[in-house]
Amino acid sequence: MNIKPLLTDSDRGKIQQSDLLAEFIQDRESELVLDLVKEIRAAVSEQDFYSVSVRTVYRVLKCDRVVVYSLEKDSHEKIIAEAVNPRFTRTLGTVIEDPCFENRYINKYQQGRITTITNIYEAGMSRCYVENLEKIEVKANLVVPICDAEGLLYGLLIAHQCSDFRQWKQSEIDFALQIASWTAERLLEWKKQQQLSSKLEKAARWQEQMTELVRKLHQQEKVASVLQFAVEKAKETLECDRVVIYGLQEENIGKIVAEAKISPLAPILNSVIKDPCFEYRYIDKYKHGRVSAISNIFEAGMSKCYVENLDKIAVKSTLVVPVNWDDGEVYGLLVAHQCFKFREWQTEEIEWLKQVGFHTGLSLSKVKLNERIDDNQSNIASIELARDTITISKSNIEQIREPVRDASQLLIEANNLNKLLIREFNSIIESISPQSRKQTKFIQILLKKLSANLIELKKAHIALHKNSNSINELLETAARDLYAKESKKL
């Protein structure tokens, strides 16, 4: 079996300095070589790299145990990988506390320190360190740093001889160094790849969230709901302590018009902040998209009163972007606060919040436009109702006028009959005796009363006629005014 294709030029370059490894790969038929190269190629995680490293050193050096002792924050002072002879104690997962181990030598290991101990009892080590090694049956060990080109120390690659003391050869030391170097380089590449993948995944997730945010933001129908939705989503995505919108509508006076915060913080909604201690001197810059990202308010060179105002509400870091109307005028500021620690705002966070501010401004403009349209439609509906009322009223007046005209004719006829009756009655009175005249006195009174009533009825009729004409003229004027207003609004 020829395994040459499994080794890349890069792989050969990393191992060519080790005579021991050169001897090891000479056996082209070795299943062990094939397995190791496959493992190296298949390693896709941090733990894989450590596991391959300890197995490789264990098999090549033919020692009793090989471990990786982590010096990273998430697994500090812990055995995180191990290959061990079944005859001896397993140490995987063991936590070793300083000062009895190697922690005090971290700086030296970062600079390339190598430790080779042939006999732990003759190496001049502290008694507690020797006792710790005795617990895991170590008689000799070899320690090399796993350190990448950027100076990051991941941990220590340690070979243990437990069955007897051991004089470590230079070729063995070189080989262990080569594996440690290979592990560090692969880890650096892997971590950079993970960071890049994480950034890409985060960017894709944020883009998805932005798409959903914009869709829902533009569904809001009220100014208050637009503002509240924006601050809540911004706080949720940025995972900060507080997000507010600071309204700048009134000259020299600003007001917190929306707020989303974590529960330990006191609310500042509706708080009023007066210039010059805040942002009014920057309004023109905010019109043109100014962004302010401050990681530490005490070191940003801001005015004392501005720092004091922020300190009062527990702010340590702040990110500020504008919220502008669609015509470019400033509505206010969208502000993210970090309150319990300082924060270095990332480029993608700044760009994301800028987009939220931009779409918040567009949504506010849309809501305002819709409100004006609704007001116009409401006014038009009122005009239509008033116009219909006028039309009905005019119709009713016309219906009244017909009986009034009929009543006018009847009054004329009644008046003529009344005059005729009076004239005939007077003729009769003149032709009868005085005694009979007394008897007709009552009829005479009735005739006078009837005449008086007819006069009053005629006056009322004339007044009704005049009033109906006046009402009709008023309705005509109102109708003309309504038509004029309606045409102007449309």
Q: Render pLDDT for 110-130 as a digit per residue (tens, 0 to 9).
A: 888 899 999 999 988 888 888
Give the pLDDT mean for 200-208.
Answer: 81
d(CA 340, CA 350): 20
8 pLDDT band, cuts 50/70/90, is very low
Q: Who has greater pLDDT, 254 or 237?
A: 237
4 pLDDT band, cuts 50/70/90, is very low
Give the pLDDT mean for 226-245.
Answer: 93
For the ranges 150-159, 186-195, 244-253, 452-461, the one whose mean pLDDT is highest: 150-159
Q: Who has greater pLDDT, 152 or 170?
A: 170
Q: Which residues contact 110 (CB under 8 A, 6 or more apart)?
A: 145, 147, 151, 153
Give the pLDDT mean for 64-68.
Answer: 96
Note if the bond before 99 is cis, omega within 30 degrees.
Answer: yes
Considering only 156-170, 178-192, 413-427, which range has the smallest mean pLDDT?
413-427
**∠ CA 222-356-204, rounded to 5°:** 130
Check: CB of residue 381 under 8 Å from CB of residue 490.
no
d(CA 379, CA 390): 16
Q: Please report the sign of the dihedral spanned by the C-alpha atoms of residue 282, residue 283, residue 289, residue 291.
A: positive
Residue carrying the six token digits 């002072």: 77
Q: Which of 484, 23, 17, 28 is nearest to 7 (CA)?
A: 28
In the DSSP assignment, the letter for residue 80 is E
Q: What is the separation of C-alpha 143 from the centre of its chain, rounded to a whole number of angstroms?
A: 49
Tell me the pTM. 0.53
Is it the case that residue 161 has pLDDT exceeding 90?
yes
d(CA 298, CA 316): 8
Considering only 137-151, 308-322, 415-429, which range has the smallest mean pLDDT?
415-429
436 pLDDT band, cuts 50/70/90, is low
Whole-number average pLDDT of the chain? 77
d(CA 451, CA 458): 11
Quick one: pLDDT at residue 157?
95
Q: Please report the sign of the dihedral spanned by the C-alpha atoms of residue 462, residue 465, residue 468, residue 470.
A: negative
Quick one: pLDDT at residue 13?
46
16 pLDDT band, cuts 50/70/90, is very low
d(CA 170, CA 176): 10
Q: What is the pLDDT of residues 324-365, one digit of tens each?
A: 888 888 888 999 999 999 999 998 899 989 999 999 989 888
Q: Which of 268, 66, 220, 228 is nearest to 158 (CA)?
A: 66
Q: Which residues contact 423 (CB under 8 A, 6 or more apart)?
A: none
Give the pLDDT mean for 304-308.
Answer: 84
Q: Which residues of 382-398 are buried (b: 16+ CB within 10 A; e: fewer)?
A: ebeebeeebeebeeebe
β partners of residue 156? 69, 145
